[in-house]
Amino acid sequence: MKKLLLIIISLFVLSLSYAQFENMNNVQMLETMRDISRDVIRIPDIPGYKTLKCEFHIHTVFSDGPVWPTVRIDEAWSDGLDAIAITDHIVSHRRVNQGDHNTSYDIALPRAQELGIILIRGGEITKRMPPGHFNALFLKDANAIDVADPVASIKEAKKQGAFVLWNHPGWKGQQPDTCIWLDMHEELFQANLFDGIEIFNAREFYPVALDWCMDRDIPPFSNSDSHYAMLSHYDYEHSIRPMTLVFAEEATEEGIKKALFEKRTVAFFNNYLAGKEEYLEAIFHGSVEIIPKDFTKDDGKKLYLLRNNSDLDFILSGNMDEFSEGIRNLQIDGWNNVKLTRGRETVILAKPGKIDIAVLNLLTGSSDHLKTDLTFPE
C-alpha cells in the first residue's frame, strides 16, 4: 500500500515538472548556455601608470587562420584583455582578402568599439630568416607595407609611425637549433628599424632573447600568435593566455603607443613575468599585503599574514634564519621557498624589520630574478 502511494506521488511530481512548460512549441533551456561574462585578471596598476593587458599578435581568416575577425574581439573581451592587434600575414591571400590587408581590422573595429576593446591596426611582415617575421603595429595602411624586400617593408611601416616587433626569434621553423641575433638584426637595430622582441610566443619561451632585451634596453613582449580559436589552444582552467602588460598613462590607443615607445612593457605567460626590475618590483609590492598578527614566538619571530591580491603565484626565496613559513617548509639547498598563491593568504613567521628576498618567477634575465625586500612591521 505504501509502495503504491509512493508511485502515485512520484507520478504526480513527474507530471507537475512537465506541466511547467507552458509553451509547448519552443522551450528556451537557458541554463545550458555559457555565462556571458568577462575574466577579471588581477594585476595591479603601478605608480603613475595603468597596467593594460594587451595581445599584439593574432591571425584571422584574412591570412592563414580559420577565425573571423569579430571572434578575436569577443575572445579578447572574454579573456579580460584591454587591447589587441590583429596581425595577419602581409603576403598574398587574395582568395580571402582580395589583396586588401586592412580587411580584418576594418571588420573587427565596430565590434571592438561596442565592447570597449582597443583595436590596433597591424600586420605581420613575413620574410625568410634573416630577418624573419616582424609585426608592424599602429599602421595607417597595411597595404603599403606589402613589398618584397623586408627592409623596405619595415621602412614603410616606420614611415607610418609604426612600432616594429621582432616575432618569435627562436621559432624552430626559422632557427631550428638556436636562437641567434644575426648581423642583419644588428643592422636593423642600429638603424632603429625595430623596437621590441617577443620573448614568449604561443607556447614558447626564448630566455636568450630576454637577455637581449635587458642588455640593449628593448621592451619584451608575450603574444599568442594564435591562428586557431583561443579555446582550442590554451588550458583555460589552469593558465592564462599569453599577454603583454603595458604601463600606460591612459587606456587609449595613443596611451599604449606612447608606452611602447617609452619601453614600458612586461611579458606575462605561464605565471612568469619578465622585464625590467622596476616594473616587476612595483607589481609585486602592489600585489602583496603584509598583515601583522598578535603572536610572537620565544625566538622573537612574529606571526604575519601575507595576502596575495593578484592572479599570479609568487615563489619567494629567502634566508631560512630570517623567516620560515608557518604551515609548511619547502627547503631547497638550504634556502626557504614560500609560495604566495594567487588570491590567498599565507602564514609567515619572521623577525620584524626588512628581509631580503628573491621572487623566482619574476625574471629580469635568463638566469636572474627580482631581488627585493619585505618589511615586517613591529
Residues lying near Zn ion in the complex (CB under 5 A) are found at 124, 133, 167, 225
Q: Which is nearer to Zn ion, 137 or 288 (CB)?
A: 137
Minimum CB separation of residue 198 from Zn ion in Å reads 9
For residue 225, the number of C-alpha atoms closer than 13 Å in the C-beta half-sphere is: 22
Residue nearest to Zn ion (CB): 133
Minimum CB separation of residue 171 from Zn ion in Å reads 7
Minimum CB separation of residue 164 from Zn ion in Å reads 13
Q: Which is nearer to Zn ion, 241 or 264 (CB)?
A: 241
| CA–CA dist 265, 260 (Å, integer) | 7
Place of cell 622585464: 275
Give per-residue burial for 225-249: e unless 16+ CB within 10 Å, then b.
bbbeebeebbeeeeebbbbbbbbbe
Q: Which is nearer to Zn ion, 198 or 325 (CB)?
A: 198
Minimum CB separation of residue 242 from Zn ion in Å reads 13
Q: Which is nearer to Zn ion, 167 or 346 (CB)?
A: 167
Q: Which is nearer to Zn ion, 28 or 232 (CB)?
A: 232
Minimum CB separation of residue 179 from Zn ion in Å reads 14
Give the count of beta carbons closer than 10 Å to the beta carbon of residue 115. 15
Q: Which is nearer to Zn ion, 174 or 372 (CB)?
A: 174
Cα angle for residues 237, 75, 169 (degrees, 5° grid)? 85
Whether residue 130 is preceded by a cis peptide bond, meaning omega within 30 degrees of 0, is yes
Q: Which is nearer to Zn ion, 70 or 126 (CB)?
A: 126
Minimum CB separation of residue 224 from Zn ion in Å reads 9
Q: Which is nearer to Zn ion, 228 or 335 (CB)?
A: 228
287 phi and psi, to 5 degrees? -100, -30
Whether the CB-CB separation of 76 and 111 falls below 8 Å is answered with no
Give per-residue burial for 208-223: e unless 16+ CB within 10 Å, then b.
ebbbbbbeeebbbbbb
Minimum CB separation of residue 57 from Zn ion in Å reads 6
Give per-residue burial for 21-59: e unless 16+ CB within 10 Å, then b.
eeeeeeeeeeeeeeeeeeeebebeebeebebbbbbbbbb
| CA–CA dist 324, 81 (Å, integer) | 37
Q: Which is nearer to Zn ion, 65 or 219 (CB)?
A: 65
Q: Is the CA virtual torsion 244, 250, 252, 255 positive or negative? A: negative
Minimum CB separation of residue 279 from Zn ion in Å reads 26
Minimum CB separation of residue 128 from Zn ion in Å reads 11
- Strand 330-332 to 163-166 pairing: unpaired
Cα angle for residues 236, 242, 244 (degrees, 5° grid)? 140
